[in-house]
Amino acid sequence: MVRLVVSTARRAGLDPVVVVVPPEAEGIRQAVDHDVTFAVQERPLGSGDALARARSAAGRAETVVVLSGDVPLVRSETIQAMVESHGETGACVTLLSAVVDDPGALGRVLRDDRGRVTAVAEVDGAPPEVLAVREINGGVYAFHGPWLWDNVGRLAPSPSGEVYLTDLVALAVSQGRPVEALQVEDPEELLGVNDRVHLARAEGILRRRIRQRWLLAGVTMPDPATVYIDPSARLGRDTVIMPNTHILGDTRIGDRCEIGPNAIVRDSRIGDDCRIVSSVVEGSRLEEAVDVGPFSHIRPGSLLQRGVHVGNFAEVKKSRLGPNTKMGHFSYVGDADVGENVNIGAGTVTCNFDGVRKHRTRIGDGAFIGSDSMLVAPVTIGEGASTGAGSVVIQDVPPGAVVVGVPARLLRPRREEEP
């Protein structure tokens, strides 16, 4: 969540970005990229104390924006609107709020009879008239910087010993300083995440937003609710994402592709006019007009060049398949360089591991690999060469030659068969 909040702050143009963390926060430090400043809150003494820890790192900014790490759904556009409103009204404090049907345990925004914000009240021990208020505080603020740093140290601890950031609102009002609340149109932006139920709901909202953005950008999804697209993925126009498909990590998918149903594509580059059905593609690149599946696995480090066909129940690992090569079904190609227009028969295996080291297989252009061939690496199959069905190839095959048997032996050069 912190990573998402930091990303939102950047998109909103906030700089510098300071993240307040507890001492044991190595996981947060690793999750957030290094273009931020970290401040440490030694003891969990509340949000007000956490903000005070950021003082030295925040510099002399005229406006200080505070985002809560457990409110990950606020949009960068909303933050920008809050900052603009803060400047236009000359407020000392501007906060985001929303009117909701069920405020639950969220803090309430209190107003006087003229509609002016007077305080943010916590619900613990609050009287019925406070609990009846439906306007909730979102935990996102813009402060006048010099006033903030002069006053954050004046906050008194609550009975629990914590210092509440929300007390700054009442403090500003008591000093006669203006406080504004900007109500968001979509209350979901201010959803706080306090347990795994909230986390699942927030993730669902984020994924719905992502899908909506790509639908409006020209991507088709027949059943959007069953599609998962990570924020870092990019999709081309007129691409179709079928049900039960996951587009994960740093993935780029070209135009006019069809991905799914039941496909997983992770950290990969997919060219235009590709089709991936009920298969997994990881850390690989597919050039234009490649089709994969169903039920195949393209493992990391693979390159499938233009027009390659990988059929059902096949696996490719750390290999290059040249243009228009066909690998129909039930085959494994690992640590291999395969030329163009190669036919790889059913059940072919590149035996790349000798128990200690991995070895490469090289197959020349136009070769024909018969069904159930075992190519024991390191081995080279020359251009236009053929292996008979069930061959176990343990030696290099010359260009144009035909080998058969176990172990494979030279039957005759192909050119000798021609009249």
Bigger pLDDT: 225 or 413? 225
Mean pLDDT of 192-206: 91
* pLDDT of res. 36: 85
> Domain locations in the chain?
2-190, 195-318, 319-419
Question: pTM for this one?
Answer: 0.85
Measured in degrees and rounded to the nearest 5, phi and psi for residue 410 equal -70, 120
Among 31-45, 109-123, 317-331, the minimum mean pLDDT is found in: 31-45
**Which of 161-165, 223-227, 278-282, 395-399 shows the lowest mean pLDDT across its residues?**
161-165
User: Token pair of 414, please?
Assistant: 């192909």
Residue 120 has a pLDDT of 93
Cα 3 to Cα 30, 31, 72: the distances in Å are 10, 6, 9
- CB atoms closer than 10 angstroms to residue 202: 20
Is residue 71 a contact partner of residue 6, using CB atoms and an 8 Å limit? Answer: no
Q: Which residues pair with 108 in a beta bridge?
A: 121, 136
Mean pLDDT, rounded, for 309-328 = 97
Q: For residue 322, what pLDDT is reported? A: 98
Q: What is the pLDDT of residues 368-385, one digit of tens each?
A: 999 999 999 999 999 999
Q: List pLDDT tens digits, range 75-129.
A: 999 999 999 999 999 999 999 999 999 898 889 999 999 999 999 998 888 899 9
Q: What percent of the chain has pLDDT over 70?
A: 98
pLDDT tens per residue, range 336-349: 999 999 999 999 99
> How open is the CA angle 384-387-393, to the nearest 5 degrees?
115
For residue 179, which of 189, 169, 188 has the smallest C-alpha distance?
A: 169
Mean predicted lDDT score pLDDT of the chain = 93
Which single residue is written with the structure tokens 């407020």?
91
Domains 195-318 and 319-419 in one fold: yes
Task: Let me know: does 321 contact 337? Beta carbons within 8 Å.
Answer: no
User: Would you identify the CATH topology of the domain 2-190?
Assistant: Spore Coat Polysaccharide Biosynthesis Protein SpsA; Chain A (3.90.550)
| Confidence tier at 24 by pLDDT (50, 70, 90) | confident
Q: What percent of the chain has pLDDT over 90?
A: 78
pLDDT, position 414: 58
CATH code assigned to 195-318: 2.160.10.10
Which band of pLDDT confidence, cut at 50, 70 and 90, is reported for residue 34? Answer: low
Is domain 319-419 annotated with CATH 2.40.30.10?
no
359 is catalytic: no
Residue pair 375/393 in contact (Cβ under 8 Å)? The answer is yes
pLDDT tens column, 231-281: 999 999 999 999 999 999 999 999 999 999 999 999 999 999 999 999 999
When pLDDT is cut at 50, 70 and 90, the band that residue 419 belongs to is very low
Among residues 181, 204, 207, which one has the least CA distance to residue 193?
204
pLDDT at 366 over 70: yes
Residue 139 predicted with pLDDT over 70 = yes
Higher pLDDT, 130 or 56: 130
Given the residues 34, 309, 329, 359, the one annotated as active site: 329
Average pLDDT over residues 24-33: 77
Residue 167: closest CA among 185, 184, 153, 188:
153
Kindly indicate the confidence band of residue 217, based on its pLDDT and cuts at 50, 70 and 90: very high
